[in-house]
């Protein structure tokens, strides 16, 4: 057990969306530096269950491989914690020191209501995707990769935009709780490819309208979203979204 740590946690506990939450102190002993942050929470929850004095802490998780985006925790004031380009499940306890106090909270946004403790409802993102983040044309079987020429720069940018996992860190990092980085990534990945052209205008208009309807804030270009994004989605996508949006307005009769 040499090298193990004792960690002091201040964890946000909230019964449901309508109840008032508060930070609760916990101590986790014998934490291995090789544990992931979520594994450390597993150890704490096992202890809470055994002791029977408190309910286990609710938090979202699924793949634990940095793919699904479920592991949304606000750690010491930063979405997904202190490391760059990683999700919470990829954050290891060696990033902290013995005796550290770590404050863990849920995403803070009106459009992401707390379900319980650290788990929030991010179905607003699903509704934005449903509004237009897809291609509805029946393309049949997959075409041969070389039959639809796409410039490499476009393909690379589309792939980089498609790396967005929809975790919501951009919203949590933004002082305005803006979803522009998320929406711009989803618009960009299709706008850069010929398959996305038939619904290009309606897509961006509908997705932006849904984003506004969900109550996300406006973008003021502080760059916090991209800085805290675990997939390091570029701010250039927001510039592309603005171009797509204004172009769609000019080329359509919609208001």
What is the structure's pLDDT at 139? 64
- Phi and psi of 126, rounded to 5°? -65, -40
What is the structure's pLDDT at 1? 44
Do 5-115 and 122-137+146-251 show the same overall fold? no
Tokens at 75, concatenated: 């750690």
CATH 1.10.1060.10 correct for 122-137+146-251: yes
Nearest 10 degrees: Cα torsion 27, 91, 32, 62: 80
Residues 6+ apart with CB under 8 A from 177: 108, 109, 110, 111, 171, 216, 217
Mean pLDDT on 26-43:
97
CATH architecture of 5-115: Roll (3.10)
Domain boundaries, the chain: 5-115, 122-137+146-251
What percentage of the chain has pLDDT greater than the value 70?
97
Tokens at 120, concatenated: 């929030």
What is the structure's pLDDT at 2? 56
pTM: 0.93
Average per-residue pLDDT for the chain: 94
Residues 6+ apart with CB under 8 A from 206: 131, 132
- Rounded Cα gap, residues 173 and 136, in angstroms: 32
**187 with 233: CB under 8 angstroms?**
no
Alpha-carbon torsion (82, 86, 92, 95), positive or negative: negative
The continuous run of DSSP H or E covering 37 comes out as helix 37-51
What is the structure's pLDDT at 43? 97
Mean pLDDT on 177-195:
96
């Amino acid at each position: 057990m040499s090298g193990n740590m004792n960690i002091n946690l201040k964890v946000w506990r909230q019964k449901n969306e309508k109840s008032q939450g508060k930070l609760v102190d916990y101590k986790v002993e014998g934490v291995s530096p090789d544990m992931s942050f979520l594994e450390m929470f597993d150890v704490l929850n096992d202890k809470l269950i055994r002791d029977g004095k408190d309910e286990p802490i609710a938090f979202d998780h699924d793949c634990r491989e940095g793919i699904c985006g479920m592991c949304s925790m606000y750690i010491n004031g930063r979405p997904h914690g202190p490391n760059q380009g990683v999700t919470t499940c990829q954050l290891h306890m060696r990033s902290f020191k013995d005796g550290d106090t770590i404050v863990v909270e849920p995403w803070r946004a009106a459009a992401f209501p707390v379900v319980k403790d650290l788990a929030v409802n991010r179905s607003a993102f699903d509704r934005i995707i449903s509004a237009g983040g897809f291609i509805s044309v029946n393309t049949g079987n997959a075409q041969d990769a070389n039959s639809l020429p796409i410039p490499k720069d476009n393909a690379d940018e589309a792939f980089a935009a498609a790396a967005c996992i929809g975790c919501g860190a951009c919203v949590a990092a933004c002082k305005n709780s803006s979803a522009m980085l998320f929406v711009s990534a989803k618009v960009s990945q299709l706008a850069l490819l010929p398959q996305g052209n038939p619904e290009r205008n309606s897509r961006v208009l509908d997705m932006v309208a849904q984003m506004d309807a969900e109550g996300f804030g406006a973008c003021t270009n502080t760059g916090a979203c991209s800085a805290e994004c675990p997939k390091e989605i570029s701010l250039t996508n927001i510039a592309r979204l603005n171009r797509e949006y204004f172009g769609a307005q000019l080329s359509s009769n919609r208001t």
